[in-house]
Amino acid sequence: MTDLADLFPGFQSHWIDTSIGRIFARSHGAGTPLVLLHGFPETHVMWHRVAPALAESHFVVAMDLRGYGWSSAPTSEGGAMYAKRAMYEDVIAVMESLGHVRFHVAGHDRGARVAYRLALDHPGRVDRLALLDILPTAEVWRNIRAGTSPGAHWDFLSRKAPEPESMIVRDPDLYFEPLLEKWTKAESLKSFDARAVAQYRAAWRDPSRIHAMCEDYRAGATLDVDADASDLAAHKTIANPTLVLNGDFYLTRSVSETPLQVWRRTFAPKAAGHMIDSGHFLAEENAPDTTAALKAFFA
């Protein structure tokens, strides 16, 4: 991967040792620490259009989640190593290694699931929380199992190993690229920087990362749903100031409530938020509006 373009000029690179191997991260800036967590099927590179502006006022850390990008991909069964309670331990380890016990968090997609689980379990770690284009995991699976939302990739990737892995590994580009296209507002890979897509391809062509992504979704269907259900039954909510941002195209297609209404009904009753003119990939499809919203919130 050494021939891939550096989309974070001026950022420092870090290989941080953790209990599951090494986690890769980039950092830049000064001020209140802010960690950026990416989504599926991407890497920390998804923040390349947003991170430099955020680093003007914050110490920004963009990291690869375990199993993604350049971070270690631990072997796992039944999602055990990819439960969000396991994955946020890497976030804590990275930030503590860089000298920060408490920090802001912005997460997109799978990274946002890691972020809100961290805020629920360890509110003292999180100052402010931004969630980009997701609903709570238990809510997603409730809709899928009720037949009000399609199972789509959620159902496929969470099937027992090695069914999805063996199908994807035959031609990873053929599986992942149409997902990127379908989830953008323009339904086109032109929504992304071609150099970023090259980084995503390099990662998802690795069979160990295909397995990791499937394990991430297996955890989502079981361990993460159970964690959410337990907290919902206990009426546990996120105490930290929370911002919900979503595109006006992707999540809203099959949901009767707005994402903000869902979060206020479930885990974040005091959340603020609004829609961005975008598909699912806010930070890449509409970086100016996403950056402005995040800068205002984290200020």
- The residues annotated with a catalytic role in the active site are 109, 280
Torsions phi, psi for 45 (to 5 deg): -60, -25
Q: In the numeric block, which tokens belong to residue 107?
A: 């997460």
Encode 278-291: b = buried (16+ Cβ within 10 Å), e = exposed: bbbbbbbbbbebbb
Q: Which residue has the tokens 């920060």?
A: 100
Q: Which residue in 94, 14, 99, 28 sits closest to 58, CA to CA?
A: 28
Strands (E), the chain: 12-18, 21-28, 32-37, 58-63, 103-108, 126-132, 242-247, 272-276
How far is residue 148's CA from residue 163's CA, in Å, rounded to a whole number? 25
How far the first Cα of the chain sits from its last, in Å, is 35
